[in-house]
């Protein structure tokens, strides 16, 4: 199968009690898997069948007749990026180059927290909050559904899934509590630093 489900970079219970094993099991094993399965069905026999995932996402973005392929392929990419955006015992203030860049571009870590939390909280319905690098500057954004900054010339550094399936079992309707937990207990600054170094 051209599109594959990657393993989680940690055990199912590694993010508990913040994100439960049940949430990760369903989110990775059912939701992420469904995007893989449906994406493969849709690209079968097309010019996309031999392309790498990132190339499929970029090639189908914004094309109404390819929306099904885009939605599934981009959701596969976004979810893999999201798993790496968290780690056990993560969260809190960053170190390294990303810390300096946040201070330079947002003024302070506290301002980053405010803007990133606002992006996640105000994404109406399903979607994602992002920290990206665009033209050398950090940018915080939100995208609906499967949309990703990857297709708009930015380099994604971190993402947070704000689809209800990401938090409902652990936080019910309290999306702001999930966002606070993501930032305080889970966010993987090593991943953001690695992405920044490659950008």
Q: Which residues in this chain contact Mn ion in the complex, by CB under 5 A?
A: 161, 163, 166
Judged by beta carbon, residue 70 or residue 163, the one nearer Mn ion is 163
H or E, element range at 164? none
Judged by beta carbon, residue 138 or residue 158, the one nearer Mn ion is 158
For the four alpha carbons of 119, 125, 24 and 13, in that order, the dihedral sign comes to: positive
The least distance separating Mn ion from the CB of residue 185, rounded to whole angstroms, comes to 19
Q: Between helices 67-84 and 33-43, what is the axis angle to 10°?
A: 150
**Residue owning tokens 């390294």:** 96
Phi-psi region of 108 (alpha: psi -120 to 50; beta: other; left: phi over 0): beta
Judged by beta carbon, residue 87 or residue 101, the one nearer Mn ion is 87
The least distance separating Mn ion from the CB of residue 145, rounded to whole angstroms, comes to 11
Judged by beta carbon, residue 80 or residue 195, the one nearer Mn ion is 80
The least distance separating Mn ion from the CB of residue 79, rounded to whole angstroms, comes to 6
The pair of three-digit structure tokens given for residue 93, joined into one six-digit string? 């203030």
Closest residue to Mn ion using C-beta atoms: 161
The least distance separating Mn ion from the CB of residue 72, rounded to whole angstroms, comes to 12
Instruction: Please report, to the nearest 10 degrees, the dihedral formed by the alpha carbons of residues 151, 156, 161, 163 taken in order.
Output: -20
């Amino acid at each position: 199968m051209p599109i594959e489900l990657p393993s989680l970079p940690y055990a199912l219970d590694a993010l508990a009690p913040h994100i439960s094993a049940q949430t990760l099991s369903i989110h990775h094993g059912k939701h992420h898997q469904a995007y893989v399965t449906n994406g493969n069905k849709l690209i079968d026999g097309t010019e996309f069948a031999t392309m790498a995932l990132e190339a499929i996402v970029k090639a189908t973005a914004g094309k109404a007749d390819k929306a099904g392929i885009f939605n599934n392929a981009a959701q596969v990419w976004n979810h893999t990026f999201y798993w790496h955006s968290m780690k056990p015992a993560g969260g809190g203030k960053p170190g390294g180059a990303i810390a300096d860049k946040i201070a330079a571009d947002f003024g302070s870590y506290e301002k980053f927290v405010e803007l990133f939390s606002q992006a996640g909280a105000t994404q109406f319905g399903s979607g994602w909050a992002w920290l990206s690098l665009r033209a050398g500057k950090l940018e915080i954004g939100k995208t609906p559904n499967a949309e990703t900054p990857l297709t708009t010339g930015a380099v994604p550094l971190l993402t947070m899934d704000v689809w209800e399936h990401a938090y409902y079992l652990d936080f019910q309707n309290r999306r702001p509590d999930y966002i606070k937990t993501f930032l305080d207990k889970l966010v993987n600054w090593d991943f953001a630093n690695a992405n920044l170094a490659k950008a």
